[in-house]
Amino acid sequence: MIKIVTVSSKKELASFIDFPHDLYEHDPNYVPELFIAQRDLLTIHPFHKHNTVQPFLAYEGDKIIGRIAAILNNAHNKFNNANDGFFGFFDCIDNKEVAAILFKTAADWLKQKGIAGKFIGPVNFSTNEPCGLLVEGFDSPPFLMQTYNAPYYADLIDGLGFVKNVDLIAWHWDDKSYDDKSVRLLNALEERLKRSNIVIRTINLKKFKEEAEKLREVYNSAWDHNEGFVPLSDDEFDYLAKDLKLILDPDFALVAEQEGKIVAFGLALPNYNEIFQKIKRGRLLPTGIFKLLFGRKKIQSLRIYALGVIEGYRKMGIEACLYGTIIKEYKRKGMKQAEAGWTLEHNDMVNRAIEAINGNPYKKYRLYEKQI
């Protein structure tokens, strides 16, 4: 007998967060999310000020066998003039009946909220956060802020009548596979940009709040035509920036600036999943905090997290300068692996540029949809 529990208490929320640790206990590629980060995401994140998230757990007896969250994203619906609902945080044993009950529960909750459009996911909570179901590339752990799931998930979701909305591509390099043409041309490219009064510099951490305000405008402008994009509110961007500041390496946090106006930025992050994979059940206490503190300088991989240029400044060489500077620092620090992504499968301009520097499309994530 399968029982669905609507998560409402702290204890139920902890069980919701912890379920994947048990499900993937013997999977060598699984990386636990930090408990405190997941708890805050599901409770105090600014997303909740204007939107609603309802987690559910599936039980068989006293054993948890699945989880899902129904997500009412009012910002998405307003921005896109839509009436869609979303699902996220989906994890489940390999059982079609359990999956069907979880998805029906989430869909019914959304219908009660007046949703009558598409049912889209997985997103945690939107494409601004980790999203997509891994459908290719199960032979290595995910990089920082990327999703992970077992191969059978796709069969479960396909079997419920969902179809592909869009695929998201992650690109990989090892320490010898990248093309360093952009590094060799870096000085010439920077000189050309200077003639337009554009300079590439690192983010000023001493004035981080001021920098973040300018970056928010670039972020919401540079990605506004991306599928599923929803502009971040001021509070949401500040929350994201505050989190990223804790883990960023200033050498990989770059902006392109023209006479005080930031027109582009590129951000690559040390792949903290190398450390998180060793922190049991995502708990920093009592010993996880020491693994985090002492492991930071040993990280050997990098995720190119975001690179955006606002309209009117594209195809000037700014993208190549940002990539070139990141590659130069990656090489100088002796790192071993890098990932860029994700990118939309049909973003030909960006994908061709990544292919040109020998990026290998090694993982694919899928967003699904169906009529609710």
| Helices and strands in the chain: count of H runs, count of E runs | 13, 13
Task: Tell me the domain boundaries of the chain.
Answer: 2-165, 174-366
**Do 193 and 317 meet the contact criterion of CB atoms below 8 Å apart?**
yes
* 3-state SS assignment for residue 299: coil
Q: Which amino acid is at 6?
A: T
> Looking at the domain 174-366, which fold is it?
Aminopeptidase (3.40.630)
Residue 127 CA, chain-centre distance (Å), reads 7
Whole-angstrom Cα distance, residue 335 to residue 329? 9
2-165 domain in CATH 3.30.70.100? no
CA–CA distances in Å: residue 91 to residues 17, 143, 156, 276? 10, 19, 11, 19
Categorise residue 358: left if φ over 0, alpha if ψ from -120 to 50, beta otherwise: left
Q: Give me the pLDDT at residue 201, please.
A: 93
Write b or e for each residue in 198-220: b if 16 or more Cβ atoms lie within 10 A of its Cβ, otherwise e.
bebeebeeeebeebbebbbebbb
Residues 364, 143, 40, CA angle at the centre, nearest 5°? 110
Q: Give me the pLDDT at residue 354, please.
A: 84
Whole-angstrom Cα distance, residue 33 to residue 35? 6
Q: Give me the pLDDT at residue 226, please.
A: 61
Please, which residues have CB within 8 angstroms of residue 186's CB and are 6 or more apart in sequence?
A: 321, 324, 325, 328
Predicted TM-score (pTM) of this structure: 0.93
CA–CA distances in Å: residue 72 to residues 37, 80, 125, 161, 235? 21, 14, 9, 21, 18
Please, which residues have CB within 8 angstroms of residue 30's CB and are 6 or more apart in sequence?
A: 20, 24, 141, 148, 277
Q: What is the pLDDT along the chain (372 residues), one digit of tens a residue?
A: 999 999 999 999 999 999 999 999 999 999 999 999 999 999 999 999 999 999 999 999 999 999 999 999 999 999 899 999 999 999 999 999 999 999 999 999 999 999 999 999 999 998 888 999 999 999 999 999 999 999 999 999 999 999 999 999 999 998 776 666 667 778 888 888 889 999 999 999 888 888 888 888 888 887 656 666 788 888 999 999 999 998 999 999 999 999 989 999 999 999 999 999 999 999 998 888 889 888 888 999 999 998 888 888 888 888 888 888 888 899 899 999 999 989 999 988 788 888 888 889 999 999 999 999
pLDDT digits (tens, 9 = 90+) for 164-191: 999 999 999 987 766 666 677 788 888 8
